Chains A and B, each alone.
Chain A
Amino acid sequence: MDLAAHELPSGSARLEPYQNWLLHDAFYSPPRPEPHPVAAFVLANRGIGISLADLFALFGSDINDGPLLAESSIELHRPLAEDAEYEVRGVIESVERRRSRRIGPFDRITCRFDLLQDGVPAATVTNVFAVPRPGEEGAS
């Protein structure tokens, strides 16, 4: 299955005030009403309409087989808000076969998640996963 340009099922997420408090605390940040900027990652992860385990299954991997988050970029188009509903849309942007000394052949899979509040872009989160492909050839 060619994963590039594959659209992920959309969904939604909300950071309730108690979750915002807990997230600040989990992030070593003094709790405050404004969500932590990295909350965009959490909202994208939780709001996309596919579980993390199913996303890795779509990659042909297993969450226990060592897929790694290699890179992540967050662009905040406007401040995030607690208790606001965010629509989350996602797409697998690219898949590149690579090789590393440490993990051997792997696919570098780039996923983009767009968060929208009332239809207006609020944040874009772009995550790059390194998915090991043990025993597979074709690595450059």
Chain B
Amino acid sequence: MTELPGWKLDQVDPARMKTLALLLADPNPIHLDAAAARRLGVADRQVNQGPSTMAMAANMLLAAFPGARLTRFSTRLLGLVLAGDSVEGGGSVIDREILDGLERVRCQVHLDVPGRGRVLEGEAVLVLPAADGNT
């Protein structure tokens, strides 16, 4: 089993949550307003959207396999990621196969928030680029 290179995001940015709220058409105030997150008893800071946390894990995979195409990605969201958090990721390759002349790798991934524990676990399939660069 091959370990994926470690991955880290130094700080989750609440301004990006606001952009994503618009792109998602998601009006939930816990992603926009720390006071709303506190008032609703969710957290003391803005809460990162689930798809943003998923995207971090996808970024880690695409950094591990440059030029690859992510074709399947299943995630379980286990905890909140908050504004200002740092996020660390890891994972491993659990299977490799050649299909239609292209190599596919199946990976397990996880993300942790130091001090609060695991926030995401998942599994992904990536198609690696062929020698000519196509996937």
| A70 with B76: CB separation less than 8 A | yes
Q: Which of B1-58 contact A (CB under 8 A)?
A: 9, 16-17, 19-20, 23-29, 40, 42, 50-52, 54-56, 58
Considering the chains assembled together, what is the distance between the CA atoms of A108 and B27 in angstroms? 22
| A73 with B74: CB separation less than 8 A | yes
* A98 contacts the other chain (CB 8 A): no
In the assembled complex, which residues on chain A have CB atoms less than 8 Å from the CB atom of B73?
37-38, 73-74
| B70 with A63: CB separation less than 8 A | no
Considering the chains assembled together, what is the distance between the CA atoms of A66 and B75 in angstroms? 20
Give the total number of A-B pairs whose CB atoms are below 8 A apart: 96
A-B contact pairs, 19 of them (CB 8 A): A22-B19, A25-B16, A26-B23, A27-B16, A27-B20, A28-B16, A41-B54, A42-B23, A45-B24, A45-B26, A51-B25, A52-B26, A64-B28, A69-B50, A70-B76, A71-B77, A72-B54, A73-B75, A76-B72
B26 to chain A, nearest CB (A): 6
* B106 contacts the other chain (CB 8 A): no
Q: Which of A71-90 contact B (CB under 8 A)?
A: 71-76, 79
Q: What DSSP secondary structure best describes chain A's contact surface?
A: mixed
* A68 contacts the other chain (CB 8 A): yes
Chain A residue with Cβ nearest B54: A38
Q: Which of A27-51 contact B (CB under 8 A)?
A: 27-29, 36-38, 41-42, 45-46, 51
Seen from chain B, the residues whose Cβ lies within 8 Å of a Cβ on chain A are 9, 16-17, 19-20, 23-29, 40, 42, 50-52, 54-56, 58-59, 69-77
In the assembled complex, which residues on chain A have CB atoms less than 8 Å from the CB atom of B42?
66
Contact of A38 among B16, B58, B69 (CB under 8 A): B58
Contact of B51 among A19, A42, A53, A63 (CB under 8 A): A42
Contact of B19 among A25, A66, A71 (CB under 8 A): A25
B117 to chain A, nearest CB (A): 14
Chain A residue with Cβ nearest B28: A63
Considering the chains assembled together, what is the distance between the CA atoms of A11 and B25 in angstroms? 14
Considering the chains assembled together, what is the distance between the CA atoms of A73 and B71 in angstroms? 11
Considering the chains assembled together, what is the distance between the CA atoms of A37 and B58 in angstroms? 8
Considering the chains assembled together, what is the distance between the CA atoms of A84 and B74 in angstroms? 24
| B25 with A64: CB separation less than 8 A | no
A44 to chain B, nearest CB (A): 10
In the assembled complex, which residues on chain A have CB atoms less than 8 Å from the CB atom of B25?
45-46, 51-52
